[in-house]
Amino acid sequence: MTAPITLVSTLKGLRLDRWMADEIEDFSRSRLKALIEDGRVTCNGELVLNPATKTVADATYVLEVPELLAADPVPEDIPLEIAFEDEHLIVVNKPAGMPVHPATGNWTGTLVHALLFHCSGSLSGIGGVERPGIVHRLDKDTSGLLVAAKSDAAHHGLAEQFAAHTVERAYIAFTRSSPEPRKGRIETRIARSDTDRKKMAVVNKANSAAGKHAITNYETIASYGREGGAMLGRGLAAKVECRLETGRTHQIRVHMAHIGCPLLGDPVYGRGRSQKLKELDDGRAFKDFRRQALHARLLGFIHPITKKRLSFETPLPKDMQKLEHFLGTL
């Protein structure tokens, strides 16, 4: 992180991103808008997330400027599990712990670095914050299927499908407690948290235009144990399939926590570990599980060049299989 930029406003009523662009050299208004929406600006210590917010007279504004991404990530010989590949695109089964693209704290060892090596530089201009070639992402500690473009035409065609929400995506999650009802649809708006810019949150204000529309369809596959004092059938934990209609940041993690079933192992939205599960875990399958229990098991889309329907599935990784085995003993 570079040194923060501090500004003091002298006038009120000016649009924030426009005023900051006038005050700071070498920062475009579009970049400042993105930084504001990313939670990088405070006014008198309070987070400001709307670029259209009007300035307050005699207020102190602080802009945190993130480090720039390396212009040209260096290809790295990192093994990849390839589900499909042709001259236009590649589908990989990303392991947990691998970031998708370079960012602060993860300048090496990312999927982008691995793809650059594997594809011998043939990806469509990968590098930089826009992540050309990468049309969607998985969190660093989420495992599973991800598609990347190897040509500009494929990149454009895949991006259109993700924007239209026509890509089929199914995830397996293990949750604390089991959903009620067992099958349902979660439809909310998701925005960056007002109190922590690293977290996302459901917008609770009725008719609010804040955030982005998000829809997750879920179905309980299995329920494990019984939650103390809960109604009959309410499990201590559950295996849940989530299918996305939209693809917002942390969407499944936020939505499952919103209905009272946070993902096991989630350090951000899990609100701590279940003491009951820890007490029952003699083999340390749960105690040693150090990530959110989320795996992208299915990915389906229309090939942007051949127009053929493609669908891929991948089994749970070993750490989630071990977790599932433990839960099955409850």
Catalytically active residues are 139
Helix (H, G, I), strand (E, B) or coil at 51: coil
Which tokens is 119 given? 């594809």
**Closest C-alpha among 103, 74, 218, 98 to residue 146:** 98
Cβ(65)–Cβ(40) under 8 Å?
A: yes
User: How buried is residue 207: exposed, middle or buried, by Cβ count under 10 Å (0-12/13-18/19+)?
Assistant: exposed
Other beta carbons less than 10 A from residue 109's beta carbon: 14
**DSSP per residue, 159-173:** HHHHHTT-SEEEEEE
Q: CA torsion angle for 152, 156, 159, 160 (degrees, to 10)?
A: -170
Which tokens is 309 given? 């329907």
**DSSP per residue, 128-149:** STT-TTB-S---TT-EEEEEEE
Q: How far is CA 22 from CA 16, 61, 235, in A?
A: 10, 14, 56
Cβ(268)–Cβ(142) under 8 Å?
A: no
Cβ(203)–Cβ(191) under 8 Å?
A: yes
Beta bridge partners of 188: 214
Cβ(252)–Cβ(294) under 8 Å?
A: yes
